[in-house]
Amino acid sequence: MLGKCGNKTSGNLTVDFSARYRMFHSVMQCTEEGLLQVDDLVQRYTHSCSWFLGPFYHLVRLFHPDYVKPLLMAPASITVKDELIYGHLRPWLGQSLLLCNGEEWSRRRRLLTPAFHFDILKNYVTKFNTSTNIMHDKWRHLVAKGTTNVEMFDHVTLMTLDSLLKCAFSYNSNCQWSASEYVSALVELSDLIIDRRQKILHHWDWFYWKTQQGKQFRKALNVVHRYMCDNNDEDGQGLTDEEIQAEANTFMFAGHDTTASAICWTLYNLARHGHYQEQCRQEVMDLMQGRDRHEIEWEDLSNLPFTTMCIRESLRLHSPVQAVTRKYTQDIALPEDRTVPKGAISLVSIYGTHHNPAVWTNPHEFHPLRFDPTNTAGRASHAFIPFSSGPRNCIGQKFALAELRVVVALTLLRFRLTLGVNPQLGSRSGGVRRLPQLVLRAEGGLWLQLEPLIPHNLEECQDE
């Protein structure tokens, strides 16, 4: 069993009081310093540590594949989403697949899984191409006007939102060209949730809803829910209207922001490592050779092995989601006779696992060949978990990986990327400070320089 926090024992699931304070601060600190603190914890404890947040929460943080695996692979019937991390999402996402438990979760997962079948995903690739083309048209307009320094998150987030609306609701929102109240509300809700997590008194609803932030949250929430009501597909396949709205909100929340983060950081990593970027570009050019149109097709996705390696390495180095949390209705056995007691909040640190020097050689370096098949044979099954794992893994991971490959391939085909300059700081993005919010972003944005490679008039001819 776990020792009490403050006792120094031979088991690594206990920490001293000063470390406990630093961990409390780091778990609430959504900054570059917070991530560096996680690095320190991983270096010190190797696989796991335990602490209390005041008298309210008992948490166990785990960051080694051997310790992560028993938790993520535990049956869904004994797995519960905790309220500390996920409870603040409930007013927004309701009793959706992300938040429900037990038999209700099993029913929803069973009903929703067919929506992510390969036969369905094939039809989405055309929509990925269309939304990416719109973003690239915007970039060309900017370059033509003399603007080559572009903040990636602003553009890519709108593109993934546009793409998701097309795929999920067959809705052409035009959000990449026009201001959207819905997009603004999504961003505000995300910011307010992070703000609420960092203020312990705001964890209680009776207090939070009386604050200015709580009132702002309700206002933004009304915008999002109204938008979903106006644009929902009525084919619920066994779900009630309320359940459809909850899943639609969850799909939009979990589907566009996470994928946008993954795309932005992949492009950033390739901008930092020009030789890998050129290798990916050549792979895409070889694939496009002899074609009249520059469009990625479903069958192409399996023919981009090196580009896919770069995407996977970027997902390791800059995972969109830094951690997932769980509670269990019974004790969970860990290696070396350790136990996570039932009711404790288990924080599976995706970031910590992906940056653990006991698992990865030079974990802070971008090295795509880690994911060459010849180098993965002896790797622990849970060393790489950007989409979590087990029965409650990310239902949309195939959707995300397909979109990632389409967007990255088309972008490298049409643009050369180099590190840009943050106008506020006057410094190049090589010194970027990571910003772990609901998804991983960058302080002040992620700025890249764009150099068009294919004349616009040539592509127009191909599209006719």
| Binding-site residue set for heme | 394
The one-letter code for the residue type at 246 is: A
Task: Report d(CA 420, CA 271) in Å as an integer.
Answer: 9
Closest CA to 265 of 314, 312, 323, 310: 314
Please, are residues 105 and 96 in contact by the beta-carbon 8 Å criterion? Answer: no
Pairing of strands 421-422, 415-419: unpaired
Write phi, then psi, for 300 (nearest 5 degrees): -75, -25
Closest CA to 433 of 24, 21, 32: 32
Task: Report d(CA 248, CA 257) in Å as an integer.
Answer: 14
Structure tokens at 200: 């312990």
Residue list, annotated binding site: 394
Please, are residues 239 and 247 in contact by the beta-carbon 8 Å criterion? Answer: yes
CA 159 to chain centre: 15
Alpha-carbon torsion, ordered 372, 373, 377, 381, to 10 deg: 80
CB atoms within 10 A of CB 210: 10
Write phi, then psi, for 8 (nearest 5 degrees): -95, 110
Return the residue matching tokens 């190049």: 428
